[in-house]
């Protein structure tokens, strides 16, 4: 058994050394002392991350540096690492030490019991704003309701995967990747272990609100067409109301029921125009979200580009 640990890094210069230190400490203490490799993906960092990783390569063996040509984003950097990892199993984790490397021991124990995927479930989250915790909880529950893939709640990308799961991901060429959903979609035997999510060791989050929203939309559009159907249902509902109202107007006209004293038809016309305009724009926006993703996908560009790979 060779275990690979994959870590995407974007501007994590002060986290690289303690991260590698803690991963090595736990992996070298695993029962039966499996061979290992630590795949560090530099996702176009603009700080000293690359130098910090090279420093570690000089000091230690079993490290692999994957240097991407620019910043491709967390999910694609993770994908690059997963595709270049050679081990079985493969562990994916964040580089800011919010995912405690010590949990790898629990993952491996479950893996040896025959599980293909062992994901880490966040019991608590430390050092994150009440807003982030609330929106994250909301998001995981919303996506559970919207999709027909059983994506576990409060679970990030910190997980162990067997070789066949990693191979399944490699065969999935989708661009707007929501890895945690894709792993659920793969199937096989999956289980979770609970943990308390630590604070970020150093640096700051790479997921400010706009990126969080984009990631959430990626997750929903990748796994659900309910928003599209919602647009259609809404259209039917509005048409039904309009039909009833039309009947009322016609009947009133035929039987000469007197209209109210103000300018006849003004309020109802404005309400109808504004309301229908809003519904149409929302529906167009939803269609646009899906269309943009289809466009990105059919261009068929590579998901990421590797600048160089170095091993120690
Ligand atoms: N990351 C990356 N590329 C990016 C953004 C983030 O490789 O464009 C990495 C980052 O270095 C970290 C992981 O993805 O190892 C998770 O990011 P972060 O900790 O900022 O997310 P949060 O924990 O705040 O949700
Ligand atoms: Mg983090």
Mean pLDDT within 203-213? 85
Residue-wise pLDDT tens digits, 225-274: 888 888 788 878 888 887 888 788 788 777 776 655 556 776 678 777 87
- Give the number of whichever ligand sits closest to the CA of residue 200: 2
Domain boundaries, the chain: 2-202+301-311, 226-298
pLDDT tens sequence across 103-128: 999 999 999 999 999 999 988 877 77
Phi, psi values for residue 129, rounded to 5°: -65, 150
**Ligand 1 binding site (Cβ under 6 Å of any ligand atom):** 8-10, 12, 43, 71, 73-74, 77, 94-96, 98, 205-207
Q: Which long-range contacts (CB under 8 A, 24 or more apart) does 220-223 make?
A: 220/142, 220/143, 220/146, 220/147, 221/176, 221/289, 221/290, 221/293, 222/174, 222/176, 222/177, 222/178, 222/181, 222/182, 223/143, 223/146, 223/147, 223/148, 223/149, 223/151, 223/178, 223/181, 223/185
Tokens 């509005």 — which residue?
Answer: 238
d(CA 237, CA 279): 11
pTM: 0.83
Q: Which CATH superfamily is domain 2-202+301-311 in?
A: Spore Coat Polysaccharide Biosynthesis Protein SpsA; Chain A (3.90.550.10)
Tokens of 5: 């640990």
Strands 117-125 and 155-161: antiparallel
Supply φ then ψ for residue 301, to 5 degrees.
-70, 155
Dihedral sign, Cα of residue 30, residue 155, residue 7, residue 91: positive
Nearest CA to ligand 1 atom 5: 74
Closest ligand to the CA of 44: 1
């Amino acid at each position: 058994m060779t275990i690979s640990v994959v870590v995407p890094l974007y501007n994590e210069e002060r986290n690289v050394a303690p991260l590698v230190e803690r991963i090595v400490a736990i992996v070298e203490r695993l029962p039966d002392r499996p061979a290992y490799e630590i795949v560090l993906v530099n996702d176009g960092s603009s700080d000293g991350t690359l130098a910090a990783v090279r420093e570690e390569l000089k000091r230690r063996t079993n490290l692999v540096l994957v240097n991407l040509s620019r910043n491709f984003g967390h999910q694609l950097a993770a994908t690059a690492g997963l595709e270049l990892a050679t081990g079985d199993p493969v562990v994916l984790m964040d580089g800011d030490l919010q995912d405690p490397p010590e949990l790898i021991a629990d993952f491996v124990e479950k893996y040896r019991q025959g599980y293909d995927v062992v994901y880490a479930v966040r019991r608590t989250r430390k050092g994150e704003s009440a807003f982030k915790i609330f929106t994250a909880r909301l998001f995981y529950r919303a996506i559970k309701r919207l999709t027909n893939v059983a994506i576990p709640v409060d679970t990030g990308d910190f997980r162990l995967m067997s070789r066949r799961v990693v191979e399944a991901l490699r065969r999935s060429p989708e661009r707007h990747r929501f890895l945690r959903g894709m792993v659920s979609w793969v199937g096989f035997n999956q289980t979770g272990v609970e943990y308390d999510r630590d604070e970020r060791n150093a640096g700051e989050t790479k997921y400010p609100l706009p990126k969080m929203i984009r990631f959430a939309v990626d997750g929903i559009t990748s796994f659900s067409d309910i928003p599209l159907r919602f647009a259609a249902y809404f259209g039917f509902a509005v048409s039904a109301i309009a039909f009833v109202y039309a009947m009322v107007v016609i009947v009133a006209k035929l039987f000469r029921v007197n209209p109210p004293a103000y300018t006849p038809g003004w309020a109802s016309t404005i309400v109808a125009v504004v309301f229908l305009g809003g519904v149409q724009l929302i529906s167009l926006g939803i269609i646009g979200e899906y269309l943009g993703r289809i466009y990105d996908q059919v261009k068929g560009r590579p998901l990421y580009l590797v600048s160089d790979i170095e091993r120690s």
